[in-house]
Amino acid sequence: MLAFLRTLSEHEIPSRALDAFASLLDEWRPLAQGDKAFRWVTDETPERAKYLINALYLAGTLIEREVTAGQAHFRPAAADEFHVVIVQDVLRALEQESRADAQFVYQMRNIWDIARRD
C-alpha cells in the first residue's frame, strides 16, 4: 500500500508522512516477525503524533477509494488488528496531553470508525 500511496500527488498525501510511515514499518517489521507479543514504546511530540494519525486517516480514505474502484485490496486481518491497536493507543495517549489534543481525539473519533472501535 505504501508503494501505491507514493504514486499519488503531494497534494493528496505528503511524502514526508509516507517517509515517516516507511520508517515506522521498518522498525516494526522485525518485531512483528517474532513469535512473541511485543510492546513498542516511543517518545513523540503530540504535534507529530497528531500529524501522523491524521495522515494515517487520510491514507486510509485514499486506499478505501482505490478498493472501491477495484484498484487495491484491504490489508490482511493481522495488519488490520495492529492498525486498530496502534490508532487507539495513540489516541488514548494524546487524549491525556492537553485539552486541545483531547479535542483532536474527539474529532477523529467522530469521523473515523477505527478510532471508535473498542
pLDDT band at 105 (very low <50, low <70, confident <90, very high): very high
**Residue 56 belongs to a domain:** yes
Give the integer Cα–Cα distance in Å for 24 and 79: 14
**Residue 7 belongs to a domain:** no
Annotate 39-71 with b (16+ C-beta within 10 A) or e (fewer): eeeeeeeeeebbbbbebbbebbebbeeeeeeee
Parent domain of 107: 16-28+44-116
Asked if the model's pLDDT at residue 27 lies above 70, the reply is yes
Instruction: Provide the domain count of the chain.
Output: 1
**Residue 9 belongs to a domain:** no
Question: SS3 for 10?
Answer: coil
Summarize pLDDT for 42-92 with one digit per residue, the tens.
888 999 999 999 999 999 999 889 889 888 787 777 778 888 889 999 999
**Residue 67 belongs to a domain:** yes
pLDDT at 114: 87
* Least confident range of 16-25, 57-66, 76-85, 99-108: 76-85
